[in-house]
């Protein structure tokens, strides 16, 4: 259809039909289908009390999957709807649909936009083949507090990296060609706008109280960057901001999202969030809740149906809203048109099997998993396994399990996962591998002939994700005992850890000689991790989120503001009296088996001006037999400024493929723009003065801004 036809379609709609397009419900009312194909991702509450003439005006369905089921729902819907506008199907394929990639926090540790883009491309192909048109991903909420269960869905604590990686995923999902989503692409939904990751105390759905400075400089930045890729949707967040729930906030959704960040596509609420304005106690009833959300700029209401219940009264009282409603409905129609739904609303059921979990997506998932692992510690090179170690015992809750997908694993199945034990056996058939949940389960004769133990530890996947905030980040006692028991065998050993969040390991870290942090690696978990353990590849990931030493050290993050009493040995300094200063493992930390060597540092000048940027160059040498991707990170420190600045800010980074025994020259750029910050009046400004540069953790030089 062309735009004129879409306009005509809009003109032909009743008000109810318009509000129908702005409502999203779950799919069970249209067809009697297997529950497993209808994923519920939020609490149940009274909804869907819809008469038939309302039900068949609805615009989109959440959580339905598989081409067959979706086609069934679509055909039942189209049979009975007056205007026969096809339904849009939306889902949460956060890190894969059927082929599961590492959790986003793991993906971010690759620092490699191309890895995330590829993961998104494969996910989009699977989604589209299954009849799904919109993906509720990526999430770019900045995170600093491991207690929040949803850190697993994030890209960590740095605004620039989070924005860049979000952008890469949007690009991968939408696969835009000539301005249009291609037939194997899906519309991306950037979420959760905004600052949802800053809930007080790391408690999910909690209040956010934040200055605008903090928002624009840090928490808002990732959305601002990712929006450049033009996702078709933005999801408003559950939390309040400056006292107002975002679902009802004109400041957030109009002034900031639309005006300042120039977003002009569709805003969808989070699950039930319009109705929840009553729980926030800013709306006295459903009608007021709907009125507030609509006025704030929430175009589509997810799961609750208050728009449809109260539209007549709302429009009667606020006729000026009709213009916004028409604009939103037109965008919905345009998207349906862009996705080709008016030509063919159905998925090709025969294609689904071909696309899902094909060799290419499994390979991409394995590479992503391998590169997302972070080697946190490797004392006496306890990893990789030496060639002479032939009898290996894997012990711990993760030794033999296939439950390595992580939360939000969409349609991923444990049956498809390569366990760690399977991965090791497949990686090297000269190894004898036995897996036990505890050391007591291991027969004595096995232990007698064992050469090496790998303790497979971590936090169960169900303990992170939405609604899974924790106060205790320490490894559970029985696993700490396991590590000590392994140590007492006097056999060489190392640990691999699976987790959806950074854990607090201070009390056990001295008993762990080598620690490979695997997050939740997804379908190819065991194969990817085994390649690293056996030395077929070297770990190359770097942390994007700092690890607290103890639970009570959270939040902890690298780009803290300077204080009047910087942390030092004195009790009159900004520190905890019973905890060492700084995180256990900082942002940017990650080892390889041999370590890259940096040399030949040079800076193109000592002054930076409007039209003269600075180039920071150096050589990265790889002294090992592995090809790997080294992550070079450049930070700046603004020595003196009118408002307080972070002690360090990451301004540039590059993932450099360095061949075995080879070297690569790297050049990173700093522009005047990179040095700007918000002054006391929240204006972006740059002041003349001195800056220090760090590449990774090394302090290299000072330069001066002059202009």
Q: Are 406 and 368 in contact (CB under 8 A)?
A: no
Q: Are 396 and 505 in contact (CB under 8 A)?
A: no
Query: Closer CB to ligand NOJ, residue 235 or residue 633?
Result: 235
Q: How far is the CB of 152 from ligand NOJ (least distance, A)?
A: 12
Q: Are 77 and 60 in contact (CB under 8 A)?
A: no
Span 315-334, contacts to ligand NOJ by CB under 6 A = none
- 42 binds ligand NOJ, rule: CB under 6 A: yes
Span 156-215, contacts to ligand NOJ by CB under 6 A = 191-192
Query: Closer CB to ligand NOJ, residue 461 or residue 593?
Result: 461
Query: Closer CB to ligand NOJ, residue 134 or residue 670?
Result: 134
Query: Closer CB to ligand NOJ, residue 279 or residue 660?
Result: 279
Tokens of 473: 């980040």
C-alpha closest to that of 501 among 458, 542, 467, 455: 458
Query: 516-555 burial, b if ≥16 CB within 10 A, otherwise e?
Result: bbbbbbbbbbbbbbbbbbbbebbbbbbbbbbbbbbbebbb
Q: How far is the CB of 62 from ligand NOJ (least distance, A)?
A: 6
C-alpha closest to that of 478 among 455, 506, 452, 462: 455
Q: What mask, x for binding ligand NOJ by CB under 6 A, covers residues 100 to 139?
A: ------------------------------------x---
Nearest residue to ligand NOJ, by Cβ distance, number only: 41
- 301 binds ligand NOJ, rule: CB under 6 A: no
Query: Closer CB to ligand NOJ, residue 126 or residue 466?
Result: 466
Q: What mask, x for binding ligand NOJ by CB under 6 A, covers residues 269 to 288?
A: -xx-----------------
Query: Closer CB to ligand NOJ, residue 136 or residue 635?
Result: 136
The three-point CA angle 184-188-192 to 5° equals 160
Query: Closer CB to ligand NOJ, residue 41 or residue 250?
Result: 41
Query: Closer CB to ligand NOJ, residue 270 or residue 366?
Result: 270
Span 405-434, contacts to ligand NOJ by CB under 6 A = none
User: How far, CA to CA in Å, does 477 sit from each of 303, 318, 436, 481, 482?
Assistant: 41, 59, 18, 6, 9
Query: If you write DSSP's letter for every residue of 351-399 in order, what string do you get?
Result: HHHHHTT-HHHHHHHHHHHHHH-EEEEEGGG--SPPTT--EEEEESTTS
* 153 CB-near residues (< 8 Å, 6+ apart): 94, 103, 104, 105, 139, 141, 408, 465
* 424 CB-near residues (< 8 Å, 6+ apart): 392, 394, 431, 433, 526, 530, 533, 534
Q: How far is the CB of 634 from ligand NOJ (least distance, A)?
A: 32
Among 7, 41, 184, 624, binds ligand NOJ (CB under 6 A): 41
The secondary element (H helix, E strand) that includes residue 326 is helix 321-338
Q: How far is the CB of 302 from ligand NOJ (least distance, A)?
A: 7
Query: Closer CB to ligand NOJ, residue 205 or residue 598?
Result: 205
Q: How far is the CB of 329 from ligand NOJ (least distance, A)?
A: 22
Among 17, 92, 230, 367, binds ligand NOJ (CB under 6 A): 92
Q: How far is the CB of 132 from ligand NOJ (least distance, A)?
A: 13
Query: Closer CB to ligand NOJ, residue 246 or residue 431?
Result: 246
Distance CA 706, CA 139 (A): 38
Q: How far is the CB of 42 from ligand NOJ (least distance, A)?
A: 5
Q: How far is the CB of 240 from ligand NOJ (least distance, A)?
A: 15
Q: Are 27 and 61 in contact (CB under 8 A)?
A: yes
Q: How far is the CB of 235 from ligand NOJ (least distance, A)?
A: 6
User: How far, CA to CA in Å, does 579 sit from each of 312, 439, 507, 552?
Assistant: 60, 32, 11, 10
- 466 binds ligand NOJ, rule: CB under 6 A: yes
Residue with tokens 């883009």: 117
Distance CA 1, CA 18 (A): 18
β-bridge partners, 393: 434, 453
Query: Closer CB to ligand NOJ, residue 245 or residue 646?
Result: 245
Query: Closer CB to ligand NOJ, residue 188 or residue 675?
Result: 188
- 618 binds ligand NOJ, rule: CB under 6 A: no
Query: Closer CB to ligand NOJ, residue 188 or residue 404?
Result: 188
Q: How far is the CB of 150 from ligand NOJ (least distance, A)?
A: 8
Residue with tokens 């994030």: 154
Q: Are 707 and 610 in contact (CB under 8 A)?
A: yes
- CA dihedral 503→508→514→516, nearest 10 degrees, is -20
Distance CA 491, CA 486 (A): 8
Q: How far is the CB of 205 from ligand NOJ (least distance, A)?
A: 9
Q: How far is the CB of 260 from ligand NOJ (least distance, A)?
A: 23
Is residue 217 helix, strand or coil? helix
The secondary element (H helix, E strand) that includes residue 121 is helix 113-129
Q: How far is the CB of 466 from ligand NOJ (least distance, A)?
A: 5
Query: Closer CB to ligand NOJ, residue 39 or residue 425?
Result: 39
C-alpha closest to that of 576 among 602, 604, 548, 607: 548
Cβ count within 10 A of residue 380: 8
Q: How far is the CB of 113 from ligand NOJ (least distance, A)?
A: 22
Distance CA 146, CA 464 (A): 10
Q: How far is the CB of 287 from ligand NOJ (least distance, A)?
A: 24
Tokens of 402: 């296939």
Start-to-end Cα distance in the chain? 54
Tokens of 308: 């449809």
Cβ count within 10 A of residue 386: 13
Span 632-661, contacts to ligand NOJ by CB under 6 A = none
Query: Closer CB to ligand NOJ, residue 191 or residue 589?
Result: 191
Q: Count residues binding ligand NOJ (CB under 6 A).
A: 9
Q: How far is the CB of 141 from ligand NOJ (least distance, A)?
A: 10
| Residues making contact with ligand NOJ (CB under 6 A) | 41-42, 92, 136, 191-192, 270-271, 466
């Amino acid at each position: 259809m062309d735009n004129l036809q879409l306009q005509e379609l809009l003109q032909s709609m009743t008000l109810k039909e318009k509000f129908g397009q702005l409502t999203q419900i779950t799919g069970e009312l249209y067809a009697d289908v297997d529950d497993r194909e209808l994923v519920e991702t939020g609490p149940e509450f009274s909804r869907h009390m819809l008469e038939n003439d309302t039900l068949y005006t609805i615009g989109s369905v959440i959580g339905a999957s598989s081409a067959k089921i979706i086609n069934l729902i679509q055909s039942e819907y189209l049979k009975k709807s007056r205007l026969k506008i096809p339904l849009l199907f939306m889902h949460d394929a956060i890190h894969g649909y059927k082929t599961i990639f590492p959790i986003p926090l793991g993906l971010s540790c690759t620092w490699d936009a191309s890895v995330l883009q590829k993961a998104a491309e494969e996910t989009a192909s699977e989604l589209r083949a299954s009849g799904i048109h919109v993906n509720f991903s990526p999430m770019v909420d900045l995170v600093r507090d491991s207690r929040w269960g949803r850190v697993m869905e994030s890209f960590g604590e740095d605004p620039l990296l989070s924005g860049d990686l979000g952008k890469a995923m949007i690009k991968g999902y939408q696969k835009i060609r000539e301005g249009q989503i291609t037939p194997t692409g899906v519309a991306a939904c950037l979420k959760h706008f905004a600052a949802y990751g800053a809930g007080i105390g790391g408690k999910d759905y909690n209040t956010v109280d934040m200055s605008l400075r903090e928002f624009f400089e840090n928490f808002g930045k990732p959305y601002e960057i990712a929006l450049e890729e033009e996702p078709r949707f933005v999801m408003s967040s559950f939390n309040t901001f400056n006292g107002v729930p975002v679902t009802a906030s004109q400041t957030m959704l109009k002034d900031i999202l639309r005006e300042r960040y120039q977003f002009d596509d569709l805003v969808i609420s989070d699950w039930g969030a319009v109705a929840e304005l009553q729980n926030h106690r800013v709306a006295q009833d459903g009608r007021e809740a709907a009125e507030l959300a609509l006025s704030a700029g929430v175009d589509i209401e997810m799961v609750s149906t208050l728009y449809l219940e109260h539209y007549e009264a709302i429009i009667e009282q606020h006729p000026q809203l009709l213009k916004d409603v028409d604009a939103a409905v037109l965008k919905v129609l345009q998207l349906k048109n862009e996705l080709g739904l008016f030509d063919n609303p159905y998925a090709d059921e025969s294609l689904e099997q071909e696309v899902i979990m094909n060799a290419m997506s499994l390979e991409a998932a394995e590479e992503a998993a391998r590169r997302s692992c972070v080697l946190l510690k490797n004392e006496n090179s306890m990893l990789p396994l030496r060639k002479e170690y032939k009898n290996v015992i894997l012990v711990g809750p993760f030794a033999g399990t296939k439950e390595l997908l992580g939360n939000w694993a969409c349609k991923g199945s444990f049956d498809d996962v390569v366990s760690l034990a399977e991965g090791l056996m497949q990686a090297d058939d000269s190894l004898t591998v036995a897996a036990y949940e505890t050391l007591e389960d291991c027969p004595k004769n096995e232990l007698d002939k064992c050469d090496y133990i790998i303790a497979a530890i971590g936090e169960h996947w169900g303990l992170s994700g939405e609604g899974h905030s924790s106060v205790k980040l320490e490894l559970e006692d029985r696993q700490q005992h396991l590590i000590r028991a392994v140590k007492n065998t006097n056999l060489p050993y190392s640990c691999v850890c699976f987790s959806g969040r950074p854990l607090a390991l201070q009390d056990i870290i001295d008993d762990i000689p080598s620690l490979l942090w695997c997050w939740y690696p997804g379908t190819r978990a065991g194969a990817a991790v085994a390649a690293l353990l056996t030395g077929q590849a070297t770990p190359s990931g770097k942390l994007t989120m700092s690890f607290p030493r103890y639970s009570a050290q959270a939040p902890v993050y690298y780009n803290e503001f300077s204080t009047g009493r910087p942390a030092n040995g004195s009790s009159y300094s900004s520190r905890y009296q019973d905890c060492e200063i700084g995180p256990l493992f900082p942002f940017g930390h990650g080892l390889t088996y041999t370590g890259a060597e940096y040399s030949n540092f040079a800076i193109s000048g000592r002054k930076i001006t409007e039209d003269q940027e600075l180039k920071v160059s150096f050589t990265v040498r790889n002294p090992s037999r592995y090809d790997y991707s080294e992550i070079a990170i450049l930070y700046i420190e603004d020595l003196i400024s009118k408002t307080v600045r972070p002690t360090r800010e990451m301004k540039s980074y590059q993932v450099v493929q360095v061949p075995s025994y080879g070297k690569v020259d790297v050049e990173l750029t700093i522009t005047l723009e990179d040095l700007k910050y918000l002054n006391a009046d929240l204006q972006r400004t740059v002041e003349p003065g001195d800056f220090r540069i760090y590449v990774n953790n090394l302090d290299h030089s000072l330069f001066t801004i002059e202009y």
